[in-house]
Structure 1
Amino acid sequence: MILSNDPYGGGVHLNDISLIGPVHWQGQLVGYTACLAHHVDVGGGAPASVGAFREVFQEGIIIPPIKFVDHGKLDDDLFRLVLSQIRSKRETAGDFRAQIASNRTGAIRINEIIDKYGLNDFDRYIDEIIEYTDRRTKVEVNKLPKGVFSAKGFVDNDGFTEEVVKLEISVTIDDNGVKFDTTGSDPQRRAPVNSTFAQTFSACAYALRALMDKDLPVNDGFYRYVHVNAPEGTVTNCVHPAPVVGGWETHVRLNDLIFEALAPALPDAVCAGTKSMQCHSGFGGHNHETGEYYCFLETFAGGYGARSRSDGPDAVQSHGQNTENAPVEETESNYPVRITRYELVPDSEGPGEFRGGLGLRRDYMFPEEATFTILADRDKAGPRGLFGGERGSKSVYALIKNNVEQHLSSKTTLQLKPGDVISYRTSGGGGYGQAFNRDPEAILNDVLQGKISTNRARKHYGVEINLSSQQVDMTITEDLRRGR
């Protein structure tokens, strides 16, 4: 089996390690199995291998394609060499072995299918699945409006300067497929906001797939219709040795821009701006109870954008960010940290006829010294609204020391003392449509649930809520709305 995490060889960032193995049936090569896993740490300049780095060399161990398992036997010397670069050795060793087991299980399952149906039918079915996907994708592309659609946006900063990172996208839809072009995006930075071509391609393919039938398979038959032009040397197609650990911030922002570009032509198919950031939280240090070095990494949820007929969900992962919630109990049981607040952020929604989802707050208190990295975004401008909807709230990152709050950059690494608290408050989703057209009863429900304050209901929605009676004061509401 071949091991690699080279971001410039089709990968994304160093934490994502791929293991690829051959599948043999009766001595004949019939296919491959592959397993990609995000590892909590691969070395580098900060715990969890996230940080404001200048070069890819600072981000961790770089593994070119190399034989990791030979004739079924793990290369122990290579395994020890890789683990020696990594902080969280116990977890990572188990994850590597799980990847090996995954590939072996896949090979067994493929052999079982061929035993049942025969090799000729196996090959024929694979070809037919791809051609079936091609036919269905062509039908879906033909449903889309033809033309050229474009949008511009930015990542708030690069982690070393306060200059915004400009992104541009144009989407051309014709009978041959969909072409995405990022010409006009900023040159790559010596900072962790660069996306590899593979990551940019993935962002474009995801956006197109989201507009199609939900049970459409994804394979080569689909990818034939995805065409991407991302000029080399830009933040959307960086070249070695640019750092790439924060390329996800660019990736998910491209998702948002693609939907923004297509909104005038597909108003019922796209949502307003989402939190659109990976929003990493990475920390680590020496655990005095276990005597081991520990690493922790998670990414935060936030507000999803509203749609033409529904509010955006509160505190969810958005677009290609398919990570899960890290339960408080599990986190506190396994790491020297306490989660002191975990809640929705009131008044963070983007007002609209349909409101954006609320952002999320999560506060970490550290009883011991630790190194903490924030690698996120959205602290300058919240997610945009659509068709008169307003922006969601900006994100806030803060260090709370002795009950004094200090705002932090969205991309920074700092050393914490016992008792320090790091607070994340992620952005809310953008609104859809004019806020003064929102159903007053929906606003009443939000107020009673503590999601929106009465002042916000009055100012942004023109709705007066009587908390004593828990009802809408329609007389004042009509006056407020008549004045707009």
Structure 2
Amino acid sequence: QCGGEHGPWGASKAGDGDSYTVLLTLNNLDPATETIEHDSPVVVLRKEHAIDTGGAGTFRGGAANLKDTLWLTAGQHYLSPFRTKKPSGVGANGGKAGPNGAMWLFPPTTDAPVKGLVDTTDSAYEHSEPVAGVLNPSTHALDPENGEYNYFARRQVWATAPKTILRCLTNGGGGWGDPFARDPERVLADVRNEYVSIDAAAAQYGVVVVGDPRNDPEGLRIDAAGTDALRGKAQ
């Protein structure tokens, strides 16, 4: 209930991949947050789509899901995240693979009550305990190129202190088709909805988006000349 039980779907020639799929044929359950918190001594802090995790393509893969849970008492956890060594959301027809996910524990640093959310930037993982994934050995952030693989079952039971936070990030869905052929207006909408960052819009799709997606999402616009220049270089 508190891990990465459900995740995204890959894109196809018909359109973008769904970002949260529950397969009824596999008898999967998707409990409500209130049910999870009723059954276990836990608070669900975050359950959201993670930015820049859908495989780039003419049609974008579904975004990975990020879930943070705060455990109020000491616990013993049997953790088994899926497929964190190599991408499972492969790209098709020129689309890019969705990035791998991972799992971390954030032990409490003080006796004070937990306030706010754990950040999602790379620097936030420095004091985490890696559970699974290809992670930088120093920063513990995702590092698919030079990181080290952490196997979740190297420890049969993961014992945690009260106020430990468990973070689960699923893999991303694969993209379909050439990312530079994606309609720039779709990329703009992805930036507005925080599926894609401004930097990734330029690097992965060749679309230059100008503005502030957090404070003025409706004010975002496409720099047509900059976009033409980026896409022209790729041809």
In the TM superposition, residue 306 of structure 1 has moved relative to its aligned partner by 0.3
TM-score normalised per structure 1: 0.37
**Quick one: distance in 2 between partners of 1:475 and 1:449?**
23
Structure 1 position 299, deviation (Å)? 5.7
Q: Give the count of matched residue pairs.
A: 189
2:22 to 304, 314, 317: 317
* Offset from partner CA, 1:268-293 (integer Å, 9 cap, x none): xxxxxxxxxxxx86xxxxxxxxxxxx
Report the Cα offset of residue 377 of structure 1: 2.2
Taking structure 1 as reference, are residues 360 and 352 closer, same or farther at Cα in structure 2, changes over 3 Å only?
Answer: same
RMSD of Structure 2 on Structure 1 (CA):
1.9
1:445: Cα distance to partner? 0.4
8 Å contact from structure 1 (residues 377, 411) kept in 2 = no
Spell out, residue by residue over 1:205-226, the C-alpha distance to the aligned partner (whole angstroms, 9 max, x if none).
xxxxxxxxxxxxxxxxxxxxxx
SS at match of 2:227: helix
One of 40, 43, 47 as aligned partner of 1:335: 40
Partner of 2:52: 347
Distance across 2 between alignment mates of 1:322 and 1:385: 27
CA shift in 2, pair 1:397/1:463, >3 Å = same
1:368 Cα shift? 0.8
Do residues 371 (structure 1) and 72 (structure 2) align? no
Note the 1:6-405 alignment, pairs <5 A.
300-317=5-22, 321-382=26-87, 383-402=89-108, 404-405=127-128
Unaligned runs of 5+ in 1: 1-279, 282-297
From 130, 135, 140, the equivalent of 1:407 is 130
Amino acid of the structure 1 residue aligned with 2:198 = T
Displacement after TM superposition at 1:348 (Å): 0.5
Is the 8 Å Cα contact of residues 4 and 81 (structure 2) preserved in structure 1?
no
- The letter of the residue matching 1:347 is D
Aligned to 1:465: 209
Q: After TM superposition, give the deviation of residue 455 of structure 1 in Å.
A: 0.2
Cα deviation, residue 320, structure 1: 5.1
Matched with 1:202 is none
Task: Give the number of the structure with larger relative contact order, counting CA–CA contacts within 8 Å between residues 6 or more apart.
Answer: 2
CA contact (8 A) 1:342 1:361 kept: yes
Deviations 1:109-137 (A, max 9, x none): xxxxxxxxxxxxxxxxxxxxxxxxxxxxx
Using the TM superposition, give the Cα deviation of residue 322 of structure 1 relative to its aligned residue in structure 2, in angstroms: 4.2
Distance 1:431 1:322 in 2: 27
- For residues 342 and 432 of structure 1, the distance between their equivalents in structure 2, rounded to whole angstroms, comes to 26
Q: Distance in 2 between matches of 1:351 and 1:327?
A: 31
**Deviation string for 1:260-319 (max 9, x for gaps)?**
xxxxxxxxxxxxxxxxxxxx86xxxxxxxxxxxxxxxx7621121001120000122359
1:467 is displaced (CA, Å) by: 1.4
After superposition, the C-alpha distances for 1:7-61 in whole angstroms (9 at most, x for unaligned) are xxxxxxxxxxxxxxxxxxxxxxxxxxxxxxxxxxxxxxxxxxxxxxxxxxxxxxx
- Contact persistence 2:11–2:62 (CA under 8 A): yes
Rg (Cα) greater in structure: 1
Cα distance in 2 for partners of 1:452, 1:346 equals 6
Does the CA-based 8 Å contact 2:105-2:128 persist in structure 1?
Answer: yes
State the alpha-carbon separation in 1 of the partners of residues 227 and 203 from structure 2. Answer: 11
Is the Cα–Cα contact under 8 Å of residues 466 and 473 in structure 1 kept in the other structure?
yes
- 2:216 pairs with 1:475: no
CA contact (8 A) 2:207 2:230 kept: yes
CA contact (8 A) 2:4 2:65 kept: no
Q: Distance in 2 between matches of 1:381 and 1:361?
A: 18
For 2:223 and 2:24, how far apart are their aligned partners in 1? 39
Q: 2:107 corresponds to which letter in structure 1? A: K
The alignment status of 1:441 with 2:179, answered yes or no, reads no
Superposed counterparts of 1:420-431, under 5 Å: 420-431=164-175
Say which is worse superposed, 455-464 or 359-368, in terms of deviation.
359-368
Identical-residue share of aligned pairs (%):
27
Provide, for residues 306-341 of structure 1, a one-character-per-residue CA deviation record: whole Å limited to 9, x for no partner: 011200001223595441322111111222111111
Q: Secondary structure at the match of 2:225?
A: helix
Report the structure, 1 or 2, having the larger helix content.
1
Shift in Å at residue 424 of structure 1? 0.3
Partner of 2:202, secondary structure, is helix
Give the conservation status (yes or no) of the 8 Å contact 1:339–1:364. Answer: yes
Q: For residues 454 and 362 of structure 1, do their structure 2 counterparts lie closer, same or farther at Cα, with a shift above 3 Å needed?
A: same
State the distance in 1 between where 2:21 and 2:47 align. 14
| Alpha-carbon separation, structure 1, partners of 2:209 and 2:24 | 35
The one-letter code of the counterpart of 2:183 is D
Which of 400, 414, 417 lines up with 2:161 in the alignment? 417
